[in-house]
Amino acid sequence: MKGDFDVIVIGAGHAGLTAAICAAESGASVCVLEVSPKNVRGGNSKHTRNLRPMHESALHPLEGSYGFDEYMDDLLRVTDGETNQALATLTLEASANSVPWLKDHGVAFQPPLGGTLHLGRTNAFFLGGGKAVMNALFQCADKLNITVVYEALDIQLDVDNGVFRRVDYSHQGNTEHLTAASLVVAAGGFEANLEWLAEAWGDAALNFLVRGTPYNRGDILRQLLAADAVQIGDARQCHAVAIDGRAPQFDGGICSRIDCVPLGIVVNNQAERFYDEGEDFWPKRYAIWGRLVAAQPDQVAYSIIDSQSAGLFMPTVFPPVEAPSLRELAEKLGLPQESLSTTVDTFNHSIVEADFNHQILDGCHTQGLAIAKTHWARKLDKPPFRAYMLRPGITFTYLGVEVDANARVKFNDSTCTSNIFAAGEIMAGNVLGQGYLAGIGMTIGSVFGRIAGREAARHAR
């Protein structure tokens, strides 16, 4: 082994720490460089709730079984085949060890709480959420004498012909240099870099809210692509949902979710409906609403319900805007009053009476509208009326670097075997070309974190 360390890991999220721990457990000396300060550490991983492991029989906290074929069918459906089959197979198979590995490293699990997504069979929920996961992994890293440098700013990689030579960065005002036999990149996607997003989405991206860390700006990804790493995925592919428009620009996390969309109507800032709010159960549809709102003028929309929907959806962090009449609601929201009244009147008159039941696909639908509502359609006529402003909330991007089954980054035209490995969001596009399957983000980080750490240590030896 040579260099200051055997392995340097960039990014101290779930994928990076998993890699660091596996490398250290393989006997390597490991240094993790993290741009964020310690008090906000944990990247996007700190916001998570669950991962999706394959299991042939019940595996606490998971009920029943979720076998390879069903999992692969789900993945192929959401990605529409946009996945590397070999890496997808590897991910699914290795995911069977994710829960035991995390338990061995101090992570506790719990059954899903009532009212959350109905994922008790497919998704293992972390006790204490992602923050508890990250705290457990940082504790492990500490016990393994892994060096973690927080506020490692402006990291510059020296990569020559696909081979990592050294890293320069600034720390507490000093310029530092480190060398290592292997490098693991686990610095997330570029979802917090609105300017980069705007290259793909146009100026609309400047109105996006970022659900996670402000530090995933894609700087390491850009450097690798500039050093001729093979790019995977498309800059427009990402996970985005519609969230409370009052959420902060960054790091709002999961509590900014708005779950009442299927119970009422959603209008744009012209007070016009633009999509079937009752297409399917919300957990199956919520991930398409980020893009739908992104396509509306000023990237804003309003979810409108009446008093009948109170208590039928997860409570929100911020209270709704409320008014005794639609006109007053429109005024408070800054929507055209005539237009909102017309939209609601037309909607109310189109409803085919049936038994409303928000727990099943109840068939309560509209008739004769250009944009139908196919379930849970009932008149909005019981004041007070309530509304939530929605904005697109980007979760993470899929464009990344291509890897092989050893998590080794591929380079165009390189004549050398690279000593650079990747894990997590920065390579998630290998498995997730488009669409999303709840819990697969952490699954990819868990699987490729373990592979990258093990292989980086092996390469160093």
Ligand X SMILES: Cc1cc2nc3c(=O)[nH]c(=O)nc-3n(C[C@H](O)[C@H](O)[C@H](O)COP(=O)(O)OP(=O)(O)OC[C@H]3O[C@@H](n4cnc5c(N)ncnc54)[C@H](O)[C@@H]3O)c2cc1C
Q: Which two tokens stand for residue 339?
A: 């237009």
Asked if 9 touches ligand X (CB under 6 A), the answer is no
**CA 439 – CA 284 distance, rounded (Å):** 13
Residue selected from 112, 253, 278, 429 as contacting ligand X according to rule CB under 6 A: 253
CB of 28 or CB of 31, closer to ligand X: 31
Asked if 433 touches ligand X (CB under 6 A), the answer is no
Asked if 233 touches ligand X (CB under 6 A), the answer is no
CB of 288 or CB of 372, closer to ligand X: 288
CB of 237 or CB of 269, closer to ligand X: 237
Residue whose structure tokens are 């139908």: 372
CB of 50 or CB of 122, closer to ligand X: 50
Asked if 400 touches ligand X (CB under 6 A), the answer is no
Q: Which amino acid is at 428?
A: A
CB of 68 or CB of 150, closer to ligand X: 150
Cβ–Cβ under 8 Å, residues 205 and 441: no
Q: How far is the CB of 167 from ligand X (least distance, A)?
A: 10
**CA 388 – CA 317 distance, rounded (Å):** 11
Q: Which amino acid is at 157?
A: L
Residue whose structure tokens are 């390189």: 414
Q: How far is the CB of 112 from ligand X (least distance, A)?
A: 11
Asked if 66 touches ligand X (CB under 6 A), the answer is no
**CA 157 – CA 171 distance, rounded (Å):** 15
Site for ligand X in 136-165 (CB under 6 A): 152, 155
Q: Give the x/- contact pattern for ligand X in 172-211, rule: CB under 6 A.
A: --------------xxx----------------------x
Residue whose structure tokens are 């997590």: 424
The secondary structure element, H or E, covering residue 74 is helix 68-79
CB of 309 or CB of 446, closer to ligand X: 446
Cβ–Cβ under 8 Å, residues 15 and 220: no
Cβ–Cβ under 8 Å, residues 188 and 36: no
Residue selected from 6, 276, 402, 425 as contacting ligand X according to rule CB under 6 A: 425
CB of 188 or CB of 262, closer to ligand X: 188
Asked if 396 touches ligand X (CB under 6 A), the answer is yes
Q: How far is the CB of 65 from ligand X (least distance, A)?
A: 20
Q: How many residues bind ligand X (CB under 6 A)?
A: 42
Exposed/middle/buried for 268, CB within 10 Å: 0-12, 13-18, 19+?
A: buried
319: alpha, beta or left? (left if phi > 0; alpha if psi -120 to 50): beta
Site for ligand X in 442-461 (CB under 6 A): 442, 445
Q: How far is the CB of 241 from ligand X (least distance, A)?
A: 9
Q: What is the DSSP string of 397-424?
A: E--EE-B-TT-BBPBTT--S---EEE-G
Which residues, in sequence order, are bridge partners of residue 401?
A: 231
CB of 347 or CB of 396, closer to ligand X: 396
**Residues in contact with ligand X by the rule CB under 6 A:** 10-16, 33-36, 43-45, 47-51, 152, 155, 186-188, 211-213, 215-216, 219-220, 253-254, 395-396, 424-425, 439-442, 445
